[in-house]
């Protein structure tokens, strides 16, 4: 950036001081830092002289100025169009744009170059909400994964660093990309929360993202990591042996991508992230022929046009870094236990003294809902008592409803662009619709676990080759 340093003629200066002042780079820079990109454009289009002075027609000057403007807020707008807020009605929320004075840092987006605040850039997890006091005797936190629709429960990191999560709600700030990810708020399930740092730092050149929490009944750990499946699948290009050998000969590096490197170390505004993921999604789909009867793939093609024949005859290239992905569990991403650093699991935070009376003769895999002495919930299943943060929000809601406690409506009536994919009952004036009818039928506090919890996840993209939400949502735009 060449700086114009000459002092303007005194005569001109008195004639049009504002316009000549703009030619002084430090003044221009200071002015621009108080404008959003649109304001800058308006300023330059309203006055030809100003336009000449600011030199917005010159690509480089324009680009340089846009790295210094206030964040335009487009990332936050895109987020709000995609993230359904309906499950967290009445919670405290943390959200704002640095361009409107919200206290977050801004940096130029690595893709479009426009100065973008931390709230308008892509995060792997956005922690947006806190509920205090919360249901079931503990505080709840929630937020979103990337630009996916459903809110998830998020818990503070284990250990001392959770202190900032327990401040008074109005003193709190967002903890994006931190803490532990639990289940979607609407899901009837039990799971160990998954440390987000582990998700962020998984070496994707060698592993898929798998849960470290328990995944066998009654635990549904699989759903804490399920949203990453299509994202990670779309980044894998399958190439035939011949093409691979050619690439290898030309020098192929190993992929060592992580979500942290990809999404956090690259400061990317949400609109640029959406463009990018749309591109990967299109590239991915262009190599596949889908079955007419469902979301299954019939054929996969290599970049050379040859059909990829299964197992052992292809290699995987990472579309993010063009490196070689060496792991082999491509079709079996839910189970690679060797790579998982197992957590120490506990079933409760409270004292056994607090336990209500344990059910007798409970059949295997059946769950009994029992009130603890402090009125919180325990679930007895296969001889264990499970309570506290492991219990999904929706189970707690249903339990309280059965006890006759009225809760704020959680029907979805937002205008999220992905809402048609959202499995929810329609909002109605009759709030009693919120009560899970099936659950209240067996009212006896003992219910078969069944597969009820899974029904809610039908719309979720956990099949590798189902079309991701990113792509579908983009088509709704413009």
* Nearest CB to Zn ion, comparing residues 315 and 465: 315
Residue 71 engages Zn ion in binding (rule: CB under 5 A): yes
Bridge partners for 115 per DSSP: 108
* Nearest CB to Zn ion, comparing residues 235 and 399: 235
The stretch among 49-57, 216-224, 402-410, 462-470 that binds Zn ion (CB under 5 A) is 402-410
Q: Which two tokens stand for residue 455?
A: 């029904």
CB of 365: closest distance to Zn ion in angstroms? 32
**DSSP codes, 119-139:** TSB--SEEEEEEESS-GGGS-
Residue 411 engages Zn ion in binding (rule: CB under 5 A): yes
Of the candidates 326, 321, 308, which has an alpha carbon nearest to the alpha carbon of residue 242? Answer: 308
CB-CB neighbours of 258 under 10 Å:
20
Residues 181-240 that bind Zn ion (CB under 5 A): 240
Of the candidates 183, 187, 163, 189, which has an alpha carbon nearest to the alpha carbon of residue 175? Answer: 163
Q: Which of 30, 304, 326, 358 binds Zn ion (CB under 5 A)?
A: 304
Inter-residue contact 258 to 200 (CB < 8 Å): yes
Q: Which of 84, 196, 316, 368 binds Zn ion (CB under 5 A)?
A: 84
CB-CB neighbours of 263 under 10 Å:
20
CA distance 378 to 386: 6
CA distance 273 to 279: 10
Residue 243 engages Zn ion in binding (rule: CB under 5 A): yes
The stretch among 121-129, 156-164, 213-221, 295-303 that binds Zn ion (CB under 5 A) is 295-303
* Nearest CB to Zn ion, comparing residues 264 and 409: 409
Of the candidates 194, 145, 178, which has an alpha carbon nearest to the alpha carbon of residue 340? Answer: 194
Q: Which of 135, 302, 396, 417 binds Zn ion (CB under 5 A)?
A: 302
CA distance 457 to 476: 22
Q: Which of 66, 91, 424, 447 binds Zn ion (CB under 5 A)?
A: 424
Residues 101-140 that bind Zn ion (CB under 5 A): 109, 111-112, 117, 120
CB of 273: closest distance to Zn ion in angstroms? 8
* Nearest CB to Zn ion, comparing residues 322 and 384: 322
CB of 116: closest distance to Zn ion in angstroms? 6
The stretch among 159-167, 176-184, 408-416, 442-450 that binds Zn ion (CB under 5 A) is 408-416
Q: Is 58 exposed, middle or buried (0-12, 13-18, 19+ CB in 10 A)?
A: exposed
Residue 149 engages Zn ion in binding (rule: CB under 5 A): no
Bridge partners for 126 per DSSP: 144
CB of 160: closest distance to Zn ion in angstroms? 31
Residue 269 engages Zn ion in binding (rule: CB under 5 A): yes
Residues composing the chain: 478
CB of 73: closest distance to Zn ion in angstroms? 5
Residue 473 engages Zn ion in binding (rule: CB under 5 A): no
Q: Which of 272, 317, 367, 457 binds Zn ion (CB under 5 A)?
A: 272
Q: Which two tokens stand for residue 81?
A: 């169009």
**DSSP codes, 290-355:** E-TTSS-EEEEB-TTSPBPPSSSSEEEEETTT-PEE---GGG-TT--GGG--PPPP-S-SS-GGG-
Q: Which of 86, 259, 317, 471 binds Zn ion (CB under 5 A)?
A: 86
Residue 321 engages Zn ion in binding (rule: CB under 5 A): yes
Residues 323-342 that bind Zn ion (CB under 5 A): 323
CA distance 160 to 277: 36
CB of 358: closest distance to Zn ion in angstroms? 35
Residue 407 engages Zn ion in binding (rule: CB under 5 A): no
The stretch among 44-52, 126-134, 265-273, 442-450 that binds Zn ion (CB under 5 A) is 265-273
**DSSP codes, 26-74:** HHHHHHHTTS-HHHHHHHHHH-HHHHHHHTTTSHHHHHHHHTTSPP-SH
Q: Which of 130, 153, 257, 316 binds Zn ion (CB under 5 A)?
A: 257
Q: Which residues bind Zn ion (CB under 5 A)?
A: 71, 73, 84, 86, 97-99, 109, 111-112, 117, 120, 240, 243, 255, 257, 269, 272, 302, 304, 306, 318, 320-321, 323, 409, 411-412, 414, 419, 422, 424, 434
């Amino acid at each position: 950036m060449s700086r114009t340093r000459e002092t303007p003629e005194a005569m001109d200066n008195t004639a049009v001081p504002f316009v000549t002042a703009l030619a002084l780079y430090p003044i221009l820079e200071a002015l621009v830092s108080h404008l959003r990109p649109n304001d800058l454009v308006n300023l330059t289009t309203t006055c030809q002289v100003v336009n000449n002075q600011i030199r917005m027609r010159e690509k480089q000057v324009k680009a340089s100025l846009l790295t210094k403007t206030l964040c335009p807020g487009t990332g936050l707008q895109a987020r709000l169009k995609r993230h359904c807020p309906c499950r967290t009605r009445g919670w405290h929320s943390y959200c704002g744009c640095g361009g409107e004075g919200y206290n977050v840092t801004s940096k130029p987006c690595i893709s479009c170059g426009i100065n973008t605040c931390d709230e308008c850039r892509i995060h792997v997890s956005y922690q947006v909400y806190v509920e205090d006091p919360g249901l079931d005797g503990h505080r709840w936190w929630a937020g979103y994964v990337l630009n996916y629709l459903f809110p998830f429960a998020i818990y503070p990191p284990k250990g001392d660093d959770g202190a900032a999560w327990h401040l008074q709600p109005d003193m709190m700030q967002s903890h994006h990309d931190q803490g532990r990810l639990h289940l979607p708020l609407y899901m009837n399930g039990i799971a160990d929360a998954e440390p987000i740092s582990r998700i962020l730092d998984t070496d994707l050149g060698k592993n898929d993202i798998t849960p470290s929490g328990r995944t066998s009944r009654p635990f549904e750990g699989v759903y804490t990591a399920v949203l990453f499946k299509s994202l990670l699948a779309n980044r894998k290009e399958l190439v035939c042996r011949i093409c691979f050998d050619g690439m290898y000969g030309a020098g192929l590096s190993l992929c060592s991508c992580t979500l942290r490197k990809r999404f956090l170390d690259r400061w990317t505004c949400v609109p640029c992230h959406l463009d990018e993921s749309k591109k990967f999604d299109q590239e991915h789909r262009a190599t596949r022929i889908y079955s007419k009867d469902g979301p299954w793939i019939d054929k996969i093609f290599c970049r050379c046009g040859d059909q990829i024949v299964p197992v052992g005859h292809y290699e995987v290239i990472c579309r993010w870094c063009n490196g070689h992905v060496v792991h082999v569990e491509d079709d079996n991403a839910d189970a690679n236990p060797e790579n998982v650093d197992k957590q120490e699991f506990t079933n409760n935070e409270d004292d056994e003294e607090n336990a209500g009376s344990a059910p007798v003769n409970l059949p295997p895999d059946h769950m009994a809902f029992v009130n603890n002495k402090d009125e919180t919930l325990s679930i007895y299943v296969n001889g264990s008592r499970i309570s506290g943060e492991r219990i999904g929000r929706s189970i707690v809601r249903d339990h309280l409803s059965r006890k006759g406690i009225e809760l704020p409506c959680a029907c979805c009536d937002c205008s999220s662009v992905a809402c048609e994919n959202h499995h929810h009952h329609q909002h109605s004036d009759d709030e009693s619709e919120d009560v899970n009818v099936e659950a209240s039928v067996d009212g006896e506090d003992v219910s078969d676990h069944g597969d009820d919890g899974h029904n809610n996840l039908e719309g979720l993209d956990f099949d590798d080759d189902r079309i991701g939400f990113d792509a579908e949502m983009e088509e709704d735009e413009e």
